Structure 1
Amino acid sequence: MLHAMRKGASGWLAKGLLLLLVASFGIWGIGSDMLTSSVGNNVIEVGDTTVSLGEFQRDYQRNLNILSSRLNTQLTQDQARQFGLAQMTINNIASRALVDEKTRSLGLSANDDAVRTVIQSQPAFLNQSGQFDRFLFEQFLARNGYSEGEYINIVRNDITGDQLFGTLPLGLTGAPKPLTDTIYAYAAEKRSAKYIDILDSSIGFAPAPTDEELEALIGEKPENYSAPEYRKISYILLTPESVASAVDIAEEDLKAEYDARKSEFDTPEKRAVQQMIFETEEKAAAARKKIAEGADFADVAMSDLQLTKTDIDLGLLSPADLLPELQGPIFALEKGGVTEPVKTILGWHVATISDIQPGAASNFEDVKDQLRKDILLNRAQELLYAQATKLEDEFAGGAKLAEAGQSLGLTVLSTDWIDAEGKDKSGTAVSSLPDATGFLSEAFARSTGDDAEVSETAGGGYYAIAVDEIEPAAVRPLSEVRDQVTKDWQDNWRHEETKKKADALLVRLNGGETLEKIAAELGVPVQTSTPALRNDVASDLSPIALEGLFDLEPGAYGVNINKNNNGTLVYGIAEIVPADAAADTETYTEIANRITGSVRTGIVAEYENYLQKDIGISIKEELIREYF
């Protein structure tokens, strides 16, 4: 509940308003004066509520699982620390406990009916008919690591929290109009520029730099003129292809595999299904009767359930796509037939089919090659695993890569100099390197003399690497990069000349000359940019030039780099388009709502700070940091 209240405080506008409006409010968190405790086995105390280390660990692990799921990767403890997961868990627990303590003292409560209503109305738990589905609810609990009782307590806490905090900002009916007008006028103003673009290429001649000047440029930006680190490596690569010749597959084996997997290669019959789901058998039977008497299936769905044709259309389905109870009735129908009411966990179903797509049986000869490939892969994996295990045993016994390869009769491959991108010294990609994720990373993470290890590839193979030689990254000598650094120096020189030229033109403009006259002298056009907001990424101007445009007074001029970074702009204001709230009510309303939300968030934050001091919070921070 408190997270939802704070959600409106995100974004540049809300953050700025919070600074303006609630600078004196404390931001939610635990102050340093509260990070001590005399509790025994408890790590958090909020009033009379205590939280043990085990309880904290369960909440922490649940948050870790949820965050890992959202990021589609299992976070390590170090990554969790970087996300501040322990502090987030402390805040969550303390927030709930504060609500519990205060609502209990005020006699606020939420009965079971209220909790049930909230849970059964949450969209995540509703099936396609808009009805509460306990199966979806239980899936959610299992996925997020909650017991039913824990989740009910959380919902109950949210309800009582709404009772506690919901009335605090009721006196705030809207954002102050002068503040909204001021912020809107700033954010929604647009400006366009009239400008000339003096390209670096217009400075034709560039002097030849001295060696001292070239060496100085290399010293300023050594990364532009450095050779990468190169390495020579040796490796053993075990792939399914490398052991395929040792696998013999008889015709009988292929036929046995086909018999066992025939259904996998058969194309199942599919049917275009439409269905309605009712709460009771009586309602389903009544609908079935209407259809039997001539009513259209879709019309009944609309009249009885307010479902459109799109809502009831399930598309082409095979038996496996249906709930078990529906498979027989639906696949026993003729085209256009309608099932009797069928009971499932979701309710009472009435279904019809509008089309039948026949299935097709597979032929042994058609899938023979695929069977051979699958059997070969399975057997090769067994051989590969056995070889990889033997290789690990060799390394565990102290053998070096070459020694292990010789002992097991495995080929040891070697490279010439390569960089971390798999390129040789000429910059050409080395095509013979294994296409294995992590291979080059491991090759450039190891040192000469490191013990070899067996690593697995994504394709089911294995490899082991030894680093033979390392040539460290180093700045190339001037003799090797003279052409490149000379070009860079001359490009820089031209760019500086355009800036000097633009600065001189700026003096003339400030002296009263017009941009059009100067443009005519230079033989370049006066251009006009499209009106743009501040920080408009789609502007014709570079970001720094656009920022400068909004700093200019009418009649003044500025100088800045162009958008393509290959020249300098001399520009002034072409037009100022004032913000127009009447023509842009959507943006104006959004800003007003954000201001209102920020003020309300500030009120809640101030009350939270009061509750912290009034109820009291103690935390064993050092103990939590030791474990998490």
Structure 2
Amino acid sequence: MVKSAAKKASNLFVWLILGLLFVALAGFGIGSFSGGGSRVGEVGDVEITAEQYARALDQEIRARIAQTGQPVTLATLRAQGIDQAVLSSLVARAALAHEAQGMGLSVGDAEVARQITQIEAFQGLDGAFDRESYEFTLRQSGLDPADFEADVRADTARSLLQLAVVGGLRPDVTLTETLVAYQGETRDFSLLTITEGSLPTGLPAPTDAELEAYYTDNPQRFTRPEARRITYAWVTPSMLMDSVPVDAAALRALYEERANLYRQPERRLLERLVFPDAAAAQAAYDAIIAGDTDFDALVAERGLTLEDVDLGEVARGDLAPEAAEAVFSDTESEIIGPVQSALGPALFRVNAVLDASEVSFEEAEEELRAELASEAARRVIDDLRDPVDDLLAGGATLEELAASTEMVLGQIDYTPVSEAGIAGYDAFREAAQAAQEGDFPELLELSDGGLFAIRLDELVPPTLPPLAEIRDEVAEAWRATALREQLAARGEALVAQLATGLAFEDLGRVETERQVRRQDFIPDAPPTLVAQVYQLAAPGDVVLVPGAEVAIIARLDRINAAARDDASVQILTQIFEQTVAQSIAQDLFEAYGQAVQAEAGIRLDQSMINAVHATFP
């Protein structure tokens, strides 16, 4: 019985050991910790060695690097308090090991051997345990078999203790049922949508006084964020394309090189079904003509799919001569055959006919010229790189750069939301964000092959533009606010009519929603609609849900209890049972671990902890 429990529960700890096993140790000087004095702490009679702590930190660093793809250092972990979490985890493991020892929990050599021999890293090419691979792998990680086997034995004992504490937990039925009833409930409700067209007088245009008041009352809506005033010089291939010469002979050569793209022969979209002999092919064809079967049915009878017989777009030269003549000379039939194909007697189905086409040189010239001009412009820019670098190195300003080269001068008040012109390039945005006043301009590259250099002139503080400059923007914002307010006011008036006895259906066109769950979303409705419907207490209750472009009056029609025999509700029940059980087990085991630690006593050596930290770069 104990052996079976250990088998089920120890896998997690064994794989934890394996995760630690394959961490490279040399890079962090972990091998320098050895001997009985190299310990960072003790819990009861169980030591936490410096080597264990260093490995755990190293594993955490590597896991975060794998997760984020970014460099991670010990300083980063310590700034986030992760080093304390790692040490606390080791303390908890040591406390459980101390408690297991006190209880006499352990496993025999046979169980330890069974677990080790099942680890794939220790197996040879034949899949069997290989002693040499086992010892070599451990040696590469700075471990010896005795230490590793002791770790497996200790972790298995800890797993037995964990099973004893939380293995038999079952969630309270009442709690699970309450959660399922809450989450599995659905509601039926009716909706009356109020739009701008529902307003009796429509939405009037704002007066000058209204715009002035709105502008004054809402300065935060129109204040421009802090900007970085940047002067830049740049050049891109598109700027030079019209000025670089393109050789006429090169245009003609490129056209001829792509003749197969510009001159397309007649093609057909074909499917081909091959038969073992001509008689079988003829019998299949006769059955199709007689209406006894069809092409799709024949394909299925052969155990094939339409993808298996699809030839795609086929030209005459792609088929065997006899098949090509039959397929391309028949302009009427859908089924053609039987004819001899490259694979034997076959029937062809014609799905579409693509007429021959030709794009003349004159028609393709503009496209070809743009391509060659772009390539030529890139070469001009490449030739420009070194002279511009030399000018910048000699102290030339961006204004002088623009005056003496093909580069164009510009200025922008850049903010993180800027997208126009050069701000549409990621390289410029990164450089603009990083620029500091006083930096010397540096030549950088754009994604399309262009070049640019920038200078940060000043930081422009947040500014509220005059109303005259942003009148249209203010008018649009005023209109949005006014529309929301008037839609809500119209909704309140209609709700008031319901209080006088008017029927819900008499207010306007009503739509119904059925079996709506708490997490559902109603398209084109305010996002809080479903949540507010679920706040209604009884059928017949109504709620007004205002929105930016519509307001909705919702009436609760029916509350549907969770259907216990529904498959989705049964799955939900299982999920809640597992979640509640795991949550209770985690809380209980954490409390148990804290009690064990308090009873056993924890002693940490801060100087040794600092020494481990010092071995990390």
Instruction: Give the TM-score normalised by structure 2.
Output: 0.56
1:484/1:464 Cα in 2 relative to 1: closer, same or farther (>3 Å)?
closer
Counterpart check, 1:575 vs 2:570: no
Q: Which stretch shows the higher mean deviation, 97-106 or 459-468?
A: 459-468
Residues 1:163 and 2:160 are matched in the alignment: yes
- The aligned residue for residue 596 of structure 2 is 611
* C-alpha contact (below 8 Å) 1:510/1:556 kept by paired residues: no
Q: Check conservation: 1:401, 1:465, Cα contact below 8 A.
A: no
Q: How many residues get paired?
A: 429
Q: Which amino acid aligns with 1:191?
A: R
Contact 2:186 2:516 in 1 (8 A): yes
Question: Using the alignment, how far apart are the partners of 1:511 and 1:229 within structure 2?
Answer: 56
> Would the aligned equivalents of 1:191 and 1:575 in 2 still touch at CA under 8 Å?
yes
Matched, 1:195 2:178: no
Residue 108 (structure 1) aligned with residue 105 (structure 2): yes
Rounded Cα–Cα distance in structure 2 between residues aligned with 1:541 and 1:482: 30
User: Which one of 182, 198, 210 corresponds to residue 186 of structure 1?
Assistant: 182
Q: Which letter does structure 1 place at the counterpart of 2:558? A: E
Q: Is the 8 A contact 1:196 1:570 kept in 2?
A: yes
1:559 alignment counterpart: 544
Secondary structure (helix, strand or coil) at the match of 1:529 reads strand
The Cα RMSD (Å) is 5.1
Are the aligned partners of 1:229 and 1:419 in contact in 2 as well (CA < 8 Å)?
yes
Q: How does 1:37-436 map to 2 (within 5 A)?
A: 43-51=40-48, 56-75=53-72, 79-81=76-78, 84-111=81-108, 113-121=110-118, 155-172=152-169, 174-203=170-199, 204-211=202-209, 213-214=211-212, 216-217=214-215, 220=218, 222-224=220-222, 226=224, 229-234=227-232, 402=397, 414-417=409-412, 419-420=414-415, 428-430=420-422
> Helix, strand or coil for the counterpart of 1:531?
strand
- Alpha-carbon separation, structure 2, partners of 1:487 and 1:561: 19
**Residue pair 1:99, 1:157 contacting (<8 A) in 2 also:** no
Is 2:10–2:156's contact at 8 Å kept on the other side of the alignment?
Answer: no
- Structure 2 residue aligned with 1:532: 516
Q: 1:593 to 1:458 in 2, by over 3 A?
A: same
Distance in 1, Cα, partners of 2:386 & 2:122: 50
Counterpart in the other structure of 2:482:
493
Structure 2 unaligned segments of length 5 or more: list them: 1-8, 14-36, 238-378
CA deviations 1:209-241 (Å, max 9, x no partner) are: 4456545446536355527625333479999xx
Query: What amino acid is aligned across from residue 530 of structure 2 in structure 1?
Result: L
Aligned counterpart, 2:22: none
Which AA in structure 2 matches 1:416?
Q
Tell me the amino acid that sits aligned with residue 466 of structure 2. Answer: P
Cα distance change, pair 226–187 in 1 and its aligned pair in 2 (3 A): same
**In 1, Cα distance between equivalents of 2:231 and 2:499:** 65
In our comparison, the structure showing a higher alpha carbon Rg is 2
* Letter of the 1:582 counterpart: D
Aligned 1:585-604 pairs, distance under 5 A: 585-604=570-589
Post-superposition offset of 1:578:
0.9
Report the counterpart of residue 504 of structure 2 in structure 1.
Answer: 515
8 Å Cα contact 2:48-2:94 kept in structure 1 = no
Partner of 1:317: none
Match of 1:15 in 2: none
Alpha carbons 1:535, 1:543 under 8 Å: kept: no
Which amino acid letter does the alignment assign opposite residue 66 of structure 2?
A: S
**By how many angstroms is 1:526 displaced?**
0.4
Shift of the 103–573 alpha-carbon distance from structure 1 to 2, 3 Å rule, reads same
Q: Which residue matches 2:472?
A: 483
How far has the Cα of 1:69 moved from its partner?
0.7
Equivalent position amino acid for 1:446 in 2: A
Structure 1 residues 54 and 158 mapped into 2: Cα distance closer, same or farther (>3 Å)? closer
Secondary structure at the aligned position of 1:62 is classed as: helix
In structure 2, what residue type is equivalent to 1:535? Q
Shift in Å, 1:468 = 3.8
Q: Matches of 1:120 and 1:223 in 2, distance apart?
A: 68
Show structure 1 runs of 5+ residues with no match.
6-39, 240-379, 520-524
C-alpha deviation, 1:67, in angstroms = 1.5
Which region of structure 1 is more displaced relative to structure 2, 215-224 or 478-487? Answer: 215-224
Conserved in 1, the CA contact under 8 Å of 2:234 and 2:450? no
Give SS of 2:165's match.
Answer: coil
Please say which of residues 132-141 and 155-164 is displaced more in the overlay.
132-141
| Cα deviation code 1:411-434 (max 9, x no counterpart) | 9874322525695xxx63239x8x
Tell me what 2:534 maps to. Answer: 550
In the alignment, the residues of structure 2 paired with residue 148 and residue 236 of structure 1 have an alpha-carbon distance, to the nearest angstrom, of: 63
Residue 164 of structure 1 aligns to a residue whose secondary structure is helix
Deviation at 1:194, TM superposition (A): 0.4
Distance 2:527 2:137 in 1: 46
| 1:402–1:412 contact (8 Å) kept in structure 2 | no
Q: Report the AA paired with residue 487 of structure 1.
A: E
**Preserved CA contact (<8 Å) 2:543 2:555:** yes
Residues 502-553 of structure 1 deviation map (CA, whole Å, 9 limit, x = unaligned): 122223324433210122xxxxx10112422213246775442211111112
**Counterpart of 2:515 in structure 1: which amino acid?**
P
Moved more, 614-623 or 134-143: 134-143
Quick one: distance in 1 between partners of 2:407 and 2:88? 55
1:516/1:457 CA distance change after superposition, 3 Å: closer
Q: Is the 8 A contact 1:232 1:414 kept in 2?
A: no
Seen in structure 2, the aligned counterparts of structure 1 residues 556 and 93 have a Cα distance that, compared at 3 Å, is same
1:592, CA displacement in angstroms? 2.0
Measure how far apart 1:620 and its partner are: 6.9
Conserved in 2, the CA contact under 8 Å of 1:191 and 1:531?
A: yes
Higher RCO (CA-CA < 8 Å; seq separation 6+): 1
Amino acid at match of 2:555: G
1:560–1:479 distance in 2 versus 1, CA, 3 Å: same
Shift in Å, 1:198: 0.6
Residues 231, 41 of structure 1: alpha-carbon distance in 2 compared, 3 angstrom cutoff = farther
After TM superposition, give the deviation of residue 74 of structure 1 in Å: 2.1
Separation in structure 2 between the aligned mates of residue 539 and residue 67 of structure 1, nearest angstrom: 39
Aligned partners of 1:589 and 1:138: how far apart in 2?
Answer: 44
Q: Is the 8 A contact 1:189 1:577 kept in 2?
A: yes
Does the 8 Å contact 1:234/1:414 carry over to 2? yes
Structure 2 vs 1, CA of residues 501 and 217 (structure 1 numbering), >3 Å: closer, same or farther?
same
Secondary structure of the structure 1 residue equivalent to 2:559: strand
Write out per-residue CA displacement over residues 233-261 of structure 1, whole angstroms, 9 at most, x where no aligned residue.
Answer: 3479999xxxxxxxxxxxxxxxxxxxxxx
- Percent identical pairs in the alignment equals 21
Checking the alignment, whether the CA contact within 8 Å between 1:121 and 1:132 is kept in structure 2 is yes
**SS class of match (1:191):** strand
* Whole-angstrom CA distance in 2 between matches of 1:210 and 1:139: 85
- Indicate if the aligned counterparts of 1:195 and 1:527 stay in contact, CA closer than 8 A: yes
Aligned residues of 2:61 and 2:73 also touching (Cα < 8 A):
no
Whether contact under 8 Å (1:225, 1:481) holds in the other structure is no
TM-score (norm 1): 0.56
Change (3 A) 1:196 1:212: closer
